[in-house]
Amino acid sequence: MDVTMPQLGETVTEGTITRWFKQVGESVQADEPLFEVSTDKVDSEVPAPSAGVVSEILVPEGETVPVGARLAVIGDSAAAPAPAPAAASAPAAPAPEAAVPPAPAPAPAAPPPPAPERASAPPSAAEPPPAPVAPPAPAAAPAPAAAPPPAATNGAEGGNGVVTSPLVRRLIVESGLDASQIKGTGAGGRITRNDVLAAAKGGRPAAPAPAATPAPTAAAPAPAASPAPVAPESQRSAGDVVIPFDNIRRRTAEHMVRSKATSAHVYTSVEVDFERIERVRIANQAEWKAEEGFSLTYLPFIIRAVSDVVHDYPNLNASVDGDSLLVHRDLNLGIAVDLDFNGLVAPVIRNADGKRLRLIAREIRDLASRAKRKQLSPDEVVGGTFTITNMGPFGTLLTLPIINQPQVAILATDAIRKQPVVVDGPDGEDTIAIHHVGHLALAWDHRAFDGAYAASFLNATREVLETRDWEAELA
């Protein structure tokens, strides 16, 4: 049975195979994770469509292919297909040997011409004889296996004539590298994404280019900009470990840098007294956990308050569209979820402004747990109009987040701790009490509105959190 690249979302047209959980010859059960695919939206584990044995893997890790492309074959036995590739590679082995006899053959007639070339180029003196052999050996054998699909693509071949994927070619261009200087470690010498990242870390072969054109001073700054990001990382000591960015880390880096360069970031925060919410949580925690199967946290209360207040401050639930502000009717709330320190995604609670606290809590639990298991579909992480990131479980005091483009605001919630606060006593006098206190920090885009608007939104949210009858909300 053929395994193809699935349609992982309405807007997804291609995916990158980041990991195969099964190799050729291994058994797989239906619905057991077979491979991991990365899109521009999210990383997902894809289950096997049927039980059997993996007889072929047609797309190696690191390759990007369109939706519907054949990725692998699941059959009844792996023994038969396994020898086939081995047999196919067997004829390739004699190729170098067949190429060796021609070396002595032309020796009697051809020594004169090559001789001057060797003399004129000492470094390549040993190279001319094997020259006809070396290129065909690494490139000609694997080329038939991987070359057919992209063969006609412009610039699809690396320096060794090995076909690379569109993703790898793009990385090579973005990194300012020369494909001919990158040694491929993939099948048949294919250049993989990790090869490009390793080459970028180790030093850029583009350096000689500026040397070739020392005259124009205007051209010097342009190449200098390419190695600039690598320069600070060039100082290494024994024992240092180089960890290339994986797909999700690279996407996050690109998105965050672009956001900082796009939005006029401003940060505003307020202190919130959560004592009323804390008492409701403690009083209802046991019953809640028995009914829902998970603990009642502060986050659903905050989302519920934001959902109510945002209607009075619609410009926060908006996106920048060119030189216009697109104000959204529905509040599609993105919740930033940490993937066990291996990335970050923001699944979306659709129409959060129309849901009560209990349903909000259920959706938070569901989306977060499936995000950690890489079971989200790309459509579940797109379309957000406002984002909340919760650093509270890690004990933070004040977080200044980066806006999730093209949104205009993101709210950070931090740790809630016991603190002494001044409260009104029974006779109207000021007294000191111990309450649960935390901060809400809003990062907002100054292009969309001004400070008074952001501060007023935070103050209104604080008032709802501190004064609402939350006991009735849980009823």
- 119 domain-assigned: no
141 within 8 A of 167, measured Cβ to Cβ: no
Q: Is the model's pLDDT at 93 over the cut of 70?
A: no
- The number of beta carbons lying within 10 Å of the beta carbon of residue 25 is 13
Residue 188 token pair: 């048949």
Judgement on whether residues 382 and 274 belong to the same structural domain of the protein: yes
Asked whether residue 189 falls in the same domain as residue 164, the answer is: yes
Rg (CA), the chain: 30
Answer whether residue 182 shows pLDDT above 80. yes
* pLDDT on residue 49: 87
Is 351 in the same domain as 286?
yes
pLDDT, residue 111, reads 46
Q: Is residue 242 part of a domain?
A: no
Lowest mean pLDDT among 212-216, 319-323, 373-377, 393-397: 212-216
Instruction: Flag whether 84 is in a domain.
Output: yes
Distance CA 309, CA 331 (A): 11
Which tokens is 76 given?
Answer: 């009844």
Q: pLDDT band at 214, cuts 50/70/90?
A: very low
pLDDT tens string 115-137: 444 433 344 333 444 444 444 44
CA-to-CA distance for 445 and 408, rounded, in angstroms? 5
Question: Is residue 458 a part of any domain in this protein?
Answer: yes
- 408: which 2 tokens? 């205009």
Query: What is the average pLDDT across 395-421?
Result: 96
Instruction: Please give the positions annotated as active site.
Output: 446, 450
> Is pLDDT at 159 greater than 60 in this prediction?
no
| Mean pLDDT computed over 411-431 | 93
DSSP 8-class letter at 24: T
Is residue 294 in a domain?
yes
Domain that holds residue 63: 2-89
Q: Please check whether residues 216 and 285 belong to one and the same domain.
A: no
Report pLDDT for 331: 97
* pLDDT average, residue stretch 66-93: 61
Predicted confidence band of residue 45 (pLDDT cuts 50, 70, 90): confident
Counting residues of the chain whose pLDDT is more than 90, the rounded percentage is 44
* Confidence tier at 405 by pLDDT (50, 70, 90): very high
The confidence score (pLDDT) of residue 41 equals 66
Question: Is pLDDT larger for residue 405 or for residue 216?
Answer: 405
What DSSP designation does 365 have? H
What is the average per-residue pLDDT within 68-95?
A: 58
Q: Enumerate residues 6+ apart whose C-beta is below 8 A from 74.
A: 1, 3, 28, 48, 49, 50, 51, 52, 53, 54, 55
Reported as a single tens digit per residue, the pLDDT across 337-371 is 998 888 889 999 999 998 999 999 999 999 999 99
Looking at residue 290, what is its pLDDT?
A: 96
Find out whether 68 and 49 touch, Cβ atoms under 8 Å: no
**Same domain for 451 and 349?**
yes
Task: Give me the mean pLDDT over the 364-380 stretch.
Answer: 91
> 133 with 28, same domain?
no
CATH code where residue 428 lies: 3.30.559.10
Same domain (yes/no): 100, 229: yes
Task: Read off the pLDDT of each residue in 278-307 and give the average, rounded to a whole number.
Answer: 96
- β-pairing, 344-345 vs 348-349, is unpaired
200 against 417, higher pLDDT = 417
Residue 90 has pLDDT above 80, yes or no: no
Verify that 100 and 78 share a domain, yes or no. no
Q: In what order do the strands lie in the sheet with 64-66?
A: 43-47, 33-38, 14-20, 64-66
**Tens-digit pLDDT profile for residues 229-257:** 444 556 788 889 888 888 788 888 888 99
Measured distance CA(185)–CA(200) in Å, rounded: 15
Task: Provide the number of structural domains found in the chain.
Answer: 3
Which CATH number is 38's domain given? 2.40.50.100
**What's the distance, CA 199 to chain centroid?**
20
Tell me which of 27-31, 94-98, 181-185 is least confident: 94-98
In this predicted structure, the answer to whether residue 40 has a pLDDT above a threshold of 70 is no
**Residue-averaged pLDDT of the chain:** 79
The answer to whether residue 406 scores a pLDDT higher than 80 is yes
Q: Is there a contact between 382 and 41 (Cβ–Cβ < 8 Å)?
A: yes
Residue 65 forms part of a structural domain? yes
Q: DSSP per residue over 70-98, as a string?
A: EEEEEES-STTTTHHHHHHHTTTTHHHHH
CA separation for the pair 256, 266 (Å, rounded): 15
Answer yes or no: do 184 and 85 share one domain: no
User: For residue 280, what pLDDT is reported?
Assistant: 96
120 or 401, greater pLDDT: 401
Cα–Cα distance list, 147 to 59, 186, 191 (Å) = 12, 13, 13
Quick check: 45 and 33 in contact, CB under 8 A? yes
* Higher-scoring residue by pLDDT: 466, 208: 466
Same domain? For 302 and 197 the reply is: no
- For residues 302 and 428, membership in a common domain is answered with yes
DSSP 8-state assignment for residue 312: G
Span of 175-179, 335-339, 376-380 with lowest mean pLDDT = 175-179
| Residue 247 resides in a domain | no
More confident residue, 138 or 169: 169
Between 43 and 126, residue with greater pLDDT: 43
Same domain, 381 and 408: yes
> How confident is the model at residue 187, as a pLDDT?
62
d(CA 15, CA 8): 9
Within a domain: residue 111? no
